[in-house]
Amino acid sequence: MSGVARGTRDPIRVVIVDDDALALELHRAHLDRVGGFQVVAECTGARAAVAALTRSSHSADLVLLDVTMPDGTGIDVLRHVRARGVRTEVIAVSGVRDVEVVREMVALGAVQYVIKPYTFASFRDRIQAFMEYHYRSLAAAGAATQHEVDQMLASLRAAPIAALPKGLSATTLEHVSAAVRERGPSTAHEIGLRLGLSREVGRRYLEHLADARRVERRARYGARGRPQTEYAWCADIGAR
């Protein structure tokens, strides 16, 4: 990811909107687990959401927006706040699967549409994709180059990880993913040493992540010999 390292960035300020108290709690817990986000308001209805998003003191970067609520819809919320000049980014989170609703939400500026019920892994992938998009857009403030625009939009098109090939474990994949995110660009040998895996097993997991565009393959050049392949978590590309 372009820009400075995550530790020196301001957190992404989030307004959560859902009429289900358990959903609010779940969204908040998942954001805390991912890290890098600050919940500035929680709303249980459309009117409260409009009030929160038009209140300058919140200055939200992102709203997690339900579609159906007792006093209005997510579409109503977006129409009202867009008319008032609010440009906060939106991720819709809803059990509504109607294609016309999805189209309308996207037309009003939703950058993601997450269907309930969802897994943490699914939520994490989309929220991390948004995080990358957000920081890339800040880094490219002003007149962006074509490359910067392409990188911003590519961030939101991260492919979900495909079904695991035979012999790979979902738990080990999570450990490998976490190790790359925490350690930074790493070779299969380095990840293997960190997790107690052989180089070949580590490479299989890293190659699976690369095929799913979660990591990027790069050449690491040493003092002598052929370059090694290292793997950088996509959200960290350009941060080092």
pLDDT band at 138 (very low <50, low <70, confident <90, very high): confident
Burial class of residue 175 (count of CB atoms within 10 Å of its CB; 0-12, 13-18, 19+): middle
Higher pLDDT, 214 or 200: 200
Q: 80 and 11 in one domain? A: yes
- Residue 80: which domain range? 6-155
Same domain, yes or no: 81 and 149? yes
At 132, which CATH number? 3.40.50.2300
191 three-class SS? helix
- Residues ≥6 apart with Cβ < 8 Å to 179: 186, 191, 194, 195
For residues 98 and 20, state if they share a domain: yes
Q: Are 192 and 120 in the same domain?
A: no
Alpha carbons 139 and 133: distance in angstroms, whole number: 10
Domain presence at residue 111: yes
- 96-100, 103-107, 160-164: segment of lowest average pLDDT: 160-164
DSSP one-letter code for 197: -
The Cα–Cα gap between 227 and 224 comes to 8
For residue 93, is it within any domain? yes
- Asked, for residue 163, whether it belongs to a domain, the answer is no
Q: How many CB atoms lie within 10 A of CB 186?
A: 23
CATH number of residue 223's parent domain? 1.10.10.10
Q: Domain boundary at 155, 187, 215, which?
A: 155
Reported as a single tens digit per residue, the pLDDT across 113-126 is 988 888 888 888 88
Q: 102, 125, 155 — which closes off a domain? A: 155
In terms of domains, do 47 and 129 share one? yes
How many CB atoms are closer than 10 A to CB 208?
Answer: 18
Mean pLDDT check: name the lowest of 85-94, 98-107, 150-159: 150-159
User: Is 56 in the same domain as 12?
Assistant: yes
- Please identify, among 95, 126, 155, the residue that sits at the C-terminal boundary of a domain: 155
Q: Which two tokens stand for residue 46?
A: 């459309």
Are residues 82 and 180 both part of a single domain? no
What's the total number of domains in the chain? 2
Residue 155 near residue 128, CB atoms below 8 Å: no
Q: Write down the pTM of the prediction.
A: 0.62
Report the Cα–Cα distance between both ends of the chain, in Å, rounded: 9
- Could you tell me the pLDDT band of residue 222, with boundaries at 50, 70 and 90? confident
Kindly state the average pLDDT of the residues 194-213: 90
Q: What gap in Å lies between CA 163 and CA 184, rounded to an integer?
A: 25
Model confidence at 160: pLDDT above 70 = no
Q: Are residues 66 and 185 in the same domain?
A: no
Residue 57: DSSP 8-state: T
Same domain, 187 and 138: no
In a domain, 21, yes or no: yes
Q: Residue written as tokens 């790979």?
A: 168
* Whether residue 2 has pLDDT greater than 50: no
Q: Looking at per-residue confidence, does 85 or 58 come out higher?
A: 85
